[in-house]
Chains A and B, each alone.
Chain A
């Protein structure tokens, strides 16, 4: 359940930014959670609903971008989409990969009032 720690960090970041903007309500929050970031969607949802109670994020609309996993095969130098860290290169079948995309875990923006 590290998702709870993740949600707590989001609340902390968002609250700080909201206060910095001299606002008292967060109407919208935009997040980026990559497909390979290690965050389980259902656990995140569960943690979110519990943790945002009594915080400025209580009624915030949540927009989540989910960048797909993209790896570069270091032998063939081609990019391809991966669902799992152990997916092989579709050309050579090798695992000599660099993860290029999908590890993102970010608060992108807020709409405050």
Chain B
């Protein structure tokens, strides 16, 4: 009889052995992200993951965008916050379909949360899906949600060295929006410096300067959105 578990020794092997794993730690998240991506592609939905530190104006940018482009494009929104439905309420007020995810103590959205939210949200075909991530420039960088593009937002009331301090987020994004440019006269923030720093991290990063208060630069952001929607799917 086997001394380890009392079996007759026929069913399994005992003793030390090596198991080759070679598995990506984020494998499970990445698999589900690819499923989400497939869902978005099948329905021709442009999914955008909006990331930034808290208070950079993600929700305000969305409110403005949803209001200004109403009737031109179809939208829906997933809001990620640790607590409250405040942001979802603000989006709902613009007449857009929205779901709030509360992560509780969690510091980022993951692909499973998105997959779950999609089941309830049932986004329209050919629409734009904004996923507003938890305000955090660190953790969301590592978690693919299945988005087509990642958009990082920074406001001029933050430091222009932020790309260097939080390089992973700028490295993994394709578009950077510099928000609150109407406040530039009052803060020691250099647009040139932030661009220089961001491009040091990511040479392909596209940068758009906007102010959601006075509307400066928003047309460029809207053109970017429209170009992504109208882009032919086949190469």
Contacts and interface: CB of A to CB of B under 8 A. Distances in A.
A24 to B, nearest CB: 8
Interface string A11-33: 01110011011110001000100
B203 interface: yes
Nearest to B19: A110
Interface in B148-201: 163-164, 167-168, 171, 197, 199-201
A14 B199 CA distance: 39
A52 interface: no
Contacts of B1: none
B143 interface: yes
A86 B164 contact: yes
Interface residues of A, number: 34
A16 to B, nearest CB: 9
Interface in A73-113: 84-86, 88, 95-97, 105-113
Contacts of A22: 12-13
Contact-residue bracket for chain B: 35 or more
A113 B16 contact: yes
Given A2-B139, A2-B142, A105 B17 contact: no
12 contacts: A2-B142, A5-B108, A12-B28, A17-B21, A23-B17, A38-B141, A95-B199, A105-B24, A105-B26, A108-B20, A109-B22, A111-B19
Given A2-B139, A6-B25, A107-B25, 20 more contacts: A2-B107, A2-B138, A2-B142, A5-B108, A9-B25, A9-B26, A9-B27, A10-B25, A20-B19, A38-B138, A38-B168, A86-B200, A86-B201, A95-B199, A105-B24, A107-B21, A107-B22, A109-B19, A109-B21, A111-B19
Interface of A: 1-2, 5-6, 9-10, 12-14, 17-18, 20-23, 27, 31, 38, 84-86, 88, 95-97, 105-113
